[in-house]
């Protein structure tokens, strides 16, 4: 009989982000002891959790950083993503692996990003200052192709490519009702990857009333995520888009977003946009739903 190799384990949390209620936000897996893991092992774990993102916490390599994080979807690594940044900071603070401070610095693929911590315990909210967006043009024919794949109907303004971590195709549908009613053709969205190098799509519309200004949805079927429940980087991309197009005047520079009801969630994202520069900060509450230990693959 062969001896079994010794299992490698890590402290592990599954956190619901952008909500104070379990099972209502966007789930994030956090592997807290990832030092020494290979990229292949991290990707294997992210595919196994099958959540939109899994993060791996490492010692920082840059001066001034409190910790380093690597972020994986089930199929690829991202330089930045919003709900993983907020949720990882929550997990580290809750587990007391970080000293309680009002400001933190996260090291990730997009560099050093400052985070702001407001409140304590169940009332804690974490905000991350997102990387600056890069705007790109899509070919003229892309607008009709995206609208058809989304089944958005006629009259959708031309979408813009806004790269902020992922490269989001940002689409203004006008009203919250149009966003809620959307039934995209997922296969058609996947096909746009080959035509226009488009993987991540987000749509938004303005709410008539209630405690939020916008309704947002995000679709990433080519990356194994048909609809993401609540999406930080998409909301940051929309904030930069609104600043660039003059759309903030109607809703203000500090607003709340509703996302996730179409997939059985009810997330809230708080968005702050610097009207002078367009710099965006996104954040909200988080709650831990699973707290324990995970066995890691052996390299």
pLDDT value at residue 87: 98
138/263 same-domain check: yes
Q: Say whether both 28 and 121 belong to one domain.
A: yes
pLDDT tier at 45, thresholds 50, 70, 90: very high
The answer to whether residues 113 and 153 belong to one domain is no
Active site residue 270: no
- Residue 99 — pLDDT band, cuts 50, 70, 90? confident
- For the chain, give the percent of residues with pLDDT over 70: 98
What pLDDT, on a 0 to 100 scale, did the predictor assign at position 2? 57
H helix runs in the chain, sequence order? 39-49, 82-94, 140-150, 176-181, 186-196, 232-245
CATH number of the domain encompassing residue 53: 3.10.310.10
3 inside domain: no
Counting the structural domains of the chain, the total is: 2
* Domain, as residue range, for 224: 134-278
Give the pLDDT of residue 3: 62
In-domain check, residue 168: yes
Residue range 191-200: mean pLDDT, rounded: 96
Percent of the chain at pLDDT > 90 equals 92
pLDDT digits (tens, 9 = 90+) for 112-169: 999 999 999 889 999 999 999 999 989 999 999 999 999 998 889 999 999 998 999 9
Is residue 2 situated within a structural domain?
no
Residue 96 Cα distances to 75, 99, 160, 274, angstroms: 31, 7, 41, 32
* 235 domain residue, yes or no: yes
pTM of the predicted protein model: 0.94
Contact 103, 281 (CB under 8 A): no
Residues in the chain: 299
Domain membership of residue 35 (yes or no) is: yes
On whether both 291 and 263 belong to a single domain, the answer is no
Rounded to 5°, angle at Cα 222 from 216 and 228: 30
Do 146 and 114 share a structural domain? no
The pLDDT value recorded for residue 4 is: 64
The residue among 16, 96, 108, 117 whose CA lies nearest residue 71 is: 108
Out of 21, 35, 53, 96, which one is annotated catalytic? 53
Kindly indicate the confidence band of residue 209, based on its pLDDT and cuts at 50, 70 and 90.
confident
Residues 205, 146 share a domain: yes
In a domain, 140, yes or no: yes
């Amino acid at each position: 009989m062969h001896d079994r190799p010794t299992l490698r384990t890590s402290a592990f949390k599954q956190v619901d982000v952008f909500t104070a209620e379990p099972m209502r936000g966007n789930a994030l897996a956090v592997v807290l002891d990832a030092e020494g893991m290979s990229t292949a092992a991290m990707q294997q774990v992210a595919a196994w959790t099958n959540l939109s993102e899994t993060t791996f916490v490492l010692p920082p390599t840059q001066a001034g950083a409190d910790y380093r994080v690597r972020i994986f979807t089930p199929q690829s690594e991202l330089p930045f993503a919003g709900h993983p940044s907020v949720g990882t900071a929550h997990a580290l603070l809750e587990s007391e692996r970080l000293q309680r401070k009002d400001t933190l610095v996260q090291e990730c693929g997009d560099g050093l990003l400052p985070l702001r911590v407001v409140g304590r315990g169940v009332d804690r909210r974490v905000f991350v200052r997102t990387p600056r967006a890069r705007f790109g043009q899509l070919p003229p024919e892309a607008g009709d192709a995206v609208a058809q794949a989304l089944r958005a109907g006629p009259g959708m303004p031309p979408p813009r490519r806004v790269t902020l971590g992922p490269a989001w195709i940002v689409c203004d549908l006008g009203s919250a009702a149009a966003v809620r009613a959307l039934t995209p053709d997922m296969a058609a969205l996947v096909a746009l990857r080959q035509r226009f190098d488009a993987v991540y799509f987000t749509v938004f519309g303005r709410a008539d009333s209630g405690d939020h200004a916008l309704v947002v949805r995000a679709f990433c079927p080519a990356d194994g995520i048909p609809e993401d429940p609540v999406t930080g980087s998409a909301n940051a991309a929309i904030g930069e888009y609104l600043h660039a197009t003059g759309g903030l005047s109607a809703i203000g520079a500090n607003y709340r977003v509703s996302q996730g009801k179409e997939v059985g969630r009810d997330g809230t994202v708080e968005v702050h946009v610097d009207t002078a520069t367009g710099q965006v900060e996104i954040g909200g509450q988080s709650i831990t739903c699973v707290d324990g230990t995970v066995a890691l693959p052996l390299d």
